[in-house]
Amino acid sequence: MKKYLDFIKESTYLNAISTETLETKLEDLQLQMAEIQEEMSSIRSILEFRKTNDVTEFAKTLPESIFNFNKEQLDFIFEHHNGVNSTQYNLARTFYRELIGIHDLGYNPKTNQTKFAINISDSFNSVDEYLANDYRENEEQIKSIKFLGENLERVDGSVEFLINYYFDQSVNYIRYVSETELYVTSYYGRKTKYNNISKMLEYLVDEDLESGSRD
């Protein structure tokens, strides 16, 4: 209410000023606005430059493999939100290439960390998805899932993964509590518990391939 009353008061004051004076005042304000915008742009450039330098310097301390990162380094590389600059984002994606059968997919606003999806076709028994007819245990994919599940920040006691089916169009996701407690959860809330990453992947592969055979 106060802002509204102040607005009315200001409007009444301005209405009492001559047109010539108002035009002059408007020109002055536009000039001030241009100067403010220019200064803001300069400040943003300086901050971006400093942040890029900080990222570059921090990158020099990182091990060659993401699997050898400590907690501070993992928190840095997993950090993802609108405030992360392009240098940090691109650096993270470079290390994400080590994760097999996984790809990054935006960020989780609850944790401000990268969100990951599990590629089900990476556990098909053929590199040609249309020739696949069974599950093939992919140890590197299992290692990557476990690594992320143990190191990403948890929400309500679990790490959430999206599921990237090849054929199936279902919207399901995985809640990772530990490598012996995982839940495949449907869009409608149905949960299926697994006590083994490989068994869970086998189920998801069968589900995906069955959907492909119906198409």
Which sequence spans correspond to the domains of the chain?
Answer: 2-55, 68-214
Mean pLDDT calculated for residue range 150-177: 94
How large is the average pLDDT for residues 165-181? 93
Element (H, E) at 149: helix 139-151
Q: How far apart are CA 90 and CA 198, in angstroms?
A: 31
Phi-psi region of 196 (alpha: psi -120 to 50; beta: other; left: phi over 0): beta
Q: What are phi and psi of 193, to 5 degrees?
A: -95, 145
For residues 152 and 127, give the distance between their C-alpha atoms in angstroms, rounded to a whole number. Answer: 29
The chain-wide mean pLDDT, for the chain, equals 86
Query: In the β-sheet with 159-164, what is the strand arrangement from edge to edge?
Result: 102-108, 113-119, 159-164, 173-178, 181-185, 191-194
Of the candidates 104, 101, 109, the one whose C-alpha atom is nearest the C-alpha of residue 90 is 104
pLDDT of amino acid 5: 41
For the segment 27-52, the average pLDDT, to the nearest whole number, is 66
Q: Return the pLDDT at 41.
A: 58
- Give the separation between CA 124 and CA 119, rounded to whole angstroms: 10
Q: Which of 21-25, 66-70, 80-84, 174-178 has the lowest mean pLDDT?
A: 21-25
Number of Cβ atoms within 10 Å of the Cβ of 190: 10
**Residue partners of 176: CB distance under 8 A and separation at least 6:** 145, 148, 149, 158, 159, 160, 161, 182
**pLDDT at 31 (0 to 100):** 77
* The pLDDT of residue 196 is above 90: yes
Strand, helix or coil at 15? helix
Q: What is the pTM of this model?
A: 0.76
